Amino acid sequence: MASATQVSPPVTGLEVETQWFPPAVKPPGSAKTFFLAGAGWRGMEVDGKLVKFTTTGVYLKGEAVSWIAAKWQGKAAEELLESDEFFQDIVTGPFEKFYRLTHIRRLEGKEFSGKVGGHLAGMIKSAGTYGEAEAKAVDKFIELYKDKEFLSVGFSNLYHQSPTGSLTVRKT
């Protein structure tokens, strides 16, 4: 019988802005299965209008449930849904994470690299592991994408984050 730390919760897939996020995935190069913890869209204001550019699915390993449950035990669902700290713990907790960011609208590389690079730096900083090597990696990421244009809808970036905060990025 599997231990509680190895069991993933039963979840269903989710569609966000025409992008399908399956209930479980195996990241490229990994034999491990991650479950869908949540998904949503990101956008920014352009000429006074909110424009949606990307969707993101967040996948976690099963042991994340035990860690989160122990920390947030006894809290009502309504309280968790209103807690920024709860969602921050999901993103920064000491367990593996996998993210799929998919473009749903054309985006220039400068816009993409600046927004995503800043987001990545923020995630790593909040995990308490941001140092000189991480700053160089974020700068390299920004440099890699700044002159690109993402013309096709459906272009995805895959991010695999270790429990210590190190990040592997792949393009599809």
- The radius of gyration of the chain's CA atoms, rounded to the nearest angstrom, is 17
Three-class SS of residue 108?
strand
C-alpha neighbours within 13 Å on the C-beta side of residue 145: 24
Looking at residue 167, what DSSP letter applies? E
**Three-state SS annotation for 16-65:** ECCEEECCEECCCCCCCCEEEEEEEEEEEEECCEEEEEEEEEEEECCHHH
Task: Read off the CATH number of the domain in which 151 is found.
Answer: 3.50.70.10
Predicted pLDDT at 2: 41
Q: Residue 127 corresponds to which amino acid?
A: A
What's the total number of domains in the chain? 1
Q: Average the pLDDT over 10-31 and give the result.
A: 87
Structure-model confidence comparison of residues 55 and 62, the more confident one: 55
Question: What pLDDT, on a 0 to 100 scale, did the predictor assign at position 5?
Answer: 47
Residue 120 has pLDDT above 50, yes or no: yes
Q: Which amino acid is at 116?
A: V
pLDDT one-digit tens code per residue, 90-108: 888 888 999 999 888 877 7
Residues 6+ apart with CB under 8 A from 124: 130, 134, 138, 165, 167
Lowest mean per-residue pLDDT among 19-28, 29-38, 126-135, 150-159: 150-159
54: closest CA among 100, 12, 123? 100
SS3 100: strand
Average pLDDT over residues 3-8: 49
Residue 55: which domain range?
Answer: 4-171
By residue count, the chain amounts to 172
